[in-house]
Structure 1
Amino acid sequence: MGIKCTKCDNESIIYQKYSGMHLCKKHFVEDAERKIKLTIRKNYNIGRDETIAVALSGGKDSTVLLYVLNKIFGERPDINLVAITIDEGIEGYRSHTIQKSKELADKLGVRHIIRSFAEEYGLTLDELTVRERLHGACSYCGVLRKKLLNKTANEVGATRLAIGHNLDDEAQTILLNHLKGDVSRLVRLDPPRKIEGLTLRAKPLRSIPEKEVALYAIVNELPMDFSECPYAHEAIRGEVRDMLNEFEASHPGTKHSLLSGFQKLVPILAKEYPPEKNKLSECRVCGDLCTEGLCQACKLLGNG
């Protein structure tokens, strides 16, 4: 017999070093869902008659996100969930994750939209990174994927765009921007208000560690792809991830503390770097909102 759950006599499936709790399958699932619901309640005031677009890649995070949101809101007739999958065009990788996305959306009965870089930009990510090597693949992908997600969410009338950023993602992003000294971007990570023309983002998994998201997916037998993007090694984020994981192992709760401290800082930083200072105007090429007359996507694509 293994170690018992802190809350009952069943066998534990996980030890949360940061909380000191051993949890069985039942209490682990309850713990994760409680935290997700609390994050939604505290940060995203979801009202009646909302359409929530969910960025669904087919990986563990977005799969768990759609599954949990459907569990919370699926029975509410006034809440409409729409899954959006972006096909960047990554040979030998994206086709598998798209198939998993289809399986989950079909299983849950959620409307599923697939958009591609090829149809929107005339180039796949693979083709773009071969043609242009001024930036890493992750730079192109991040900007172009975000643009297409927002465009599609606007087209379906979404009031929110939910993305599967977990605690590790949030902690890494916060630390990355600190290391770069990009204070104004820190404010934009957690905007205090909605900006006309941009679908307000929601990150319901932001308090759940990456390993717990993966475990939640496994115990609920969700269709997903665990493979890593072939371009992932190019990102500086990997170095920050390794550093944070070492700190977390030595000092449990480090990632939670980073997020908690960041959330306390945002209201203070927003006074010094108010969104109004970065006045938005239409991109002279594509018409999307941007701060410099030419959006980052059009810059990367060489337009204008």
Structure 2
Amino acid sequence: MKCDKCGKEAVIYQRYSGMHLCAAHEIADVERKVKKRMRQEKMVIPGDHVAVGMSGGKDSAATLSILAETFGKRPEIKFTAITIDEGIEGYRNFSIPKVKELCDRLGVPHVVVSFKDEVGCTLDDMLKRERKEASCTYCGVFRRMLLNKKAREIGANKLATGHNLDDDAQTVLLNVLNGDVERLARLRPSRIQEGLVPRIKPLMDIPEREIALYAFLKKLPFYLGECPYAHESLRGEVKDMLNDFESRHPGTKYSIMRGFDSIVDCLKEKYRQVPLERCEICGEPSIDKTCQGCKLKQRIHIKI
């Protein structure tokens, strides 16, 4: 196969666009889409301090690399990488060194926040104490809480995550399958909530497989391993289903997000954004008087 733009050997065929692209044009295509989205939504502007959630995987590596290369020479914009160490044996101890390697290469400060220090025990220990919920429930609640808390503490006014097209399409479909329409409305918040650092998702228009290829072509350090608890998640089943649909009907993931974007304003009108309270125990932003993190701590008998 030859690249449709320059005639060199192609490294990818984008079935949804019908384009064959060589390595250089695949890199350029990813970066073009990311920069277009960032311009449209003014994701990064002068004066910003952007915290970047770094797992050590391909998505976060690509996010930090593109942000640093795009804005790194502008002294009025600052980046800090934050890694949440959940305490998963045989997983985070391999991925954290990859984050450090990339941050050293890009000259970006790196902060590691651990479940053990901040929550009171590791995820592995939590799951030994109680198994009423899937592991992703505990992990997701505490990881989001700690990312937001640390971003706020370091003075960041935005929090960038590596969520890609696949992630967003899965989330939309997952909420539809769960009948949680109100949560769909919250995927596009109408305003900034006190105590919550606004999130940006530079990769939201890029399919996962293209990000993986981009990371390889750019020779970014990242960890290929999968979380050992990933098989427990319903999201994994939704991911497989969507990939099957995408294989048979190219463009399905883009179609899901276009459909969602066309109805989200109506959803936000029906399900108005509720002002957050402060958790009476820890002071973090919460819908209820007690946040989900403190509720989980009480259930697994962690001292608050």
Partner of 1:113, secondary structure, is strand
TM-score between the two structures when normalised by the length of structure 2: 0.97
Q: Is the 8 A contact 2:52 2:79 kept in 1?
A: yes
Q: Within 5 A, what are the aligned runs for 1:243-282?
A: 243-275=241-273, 278-282=274-278
Residue type matched to 1:205 in 2? L
Q: State the alpha-carbon separation in 1 of the partners of residues 122 and 8 from structure 2.
A: 49
Q: State the alpha-carbon separation in 2 of the partners of residues 158 and 264 from structure 1.
A: 31
Q: Is the 8 A contact 1:40 1:204 kept in 2?
A: yes
Q: State the alpha-carbon separation in 2 of the partners of residues 174 and 297 from structure 1.
A: 24
Corresponding residue of 1:98: 96
Count of aligned pairs between the two proteins? 300
Corresponding residue of 2:115: 117
Corresponding residue of 1:87: 85
Structure 1 residue aligned with 2:159, among 161, 166, 172? 161
Q: State the alpha-carbon separation in 1 of the partners of residues 36 and 194 from structure 2.
A: 27
Q: 2:233 aligned with 1:235, yes or no?
A: yes
Residue type matched to 1:90 in 2? I
Q: Is the 8 A contact 2:193 2:275 kept in 1?
A: no
Give ranges in structure 2 of 5+ residues lacking alignment. none
Q: 2:278 aligned with 1:297, yes or no?
A: no
Give ranges in structure 1 of 5+ residues lacking alignment. none
Residue type matched to 2:38 in 1? I
Q: Is the 8 A contact 1:44 1:202 kept in 2?
A: no
TM-score between the two structures when normalised by the length of structure 1: 0.97
Residue type matched to 2:258 in 1? S
Corresponding residue of 2:173: 175
Q: Is the 8 A contact 2:58 2:222 kept in 1?
A: yes
Q: Which runs of 4+ in 1 moved over 3 A?
A: none
Q: State the alpha-carbon separation in 1 of the partners of residues 77 and 93 from structure 2.
A: 30
Residue type matched to 2:13 in 1? Y
Corresponding residue of 1:283: 279
Deviations 1:174-196 (A, max 9, x none): 00001111111112112122111
Residue type matched to 2:123 in 1? L
Corresponding residue of 1:15: 13
Partner of 2:104, secondary structure, is helix
Corresponding residue of 1:127: 125
Structure 1 residue aligned with 2:221, among 211, 216, 223? 223
Alignment root-mean-square deviation, CA: 1.0
Deviations 1:130-186 (A, max 9, x none): 111111111100010000000000011111100001111110000000111111111
Partner of 1:191, secondary structure, is coil
Q: Is the 8 A contact 2:193 2:276 kept in 1?
A: no
Partner of 2:139, secondary structure, is helix
* Range with greater deviation from structure 2 (181-190 or 223-232): 181-190
Deviations 1:194-243 (A, max 9, x none): 11110000111011111000000000111110100000000000111111
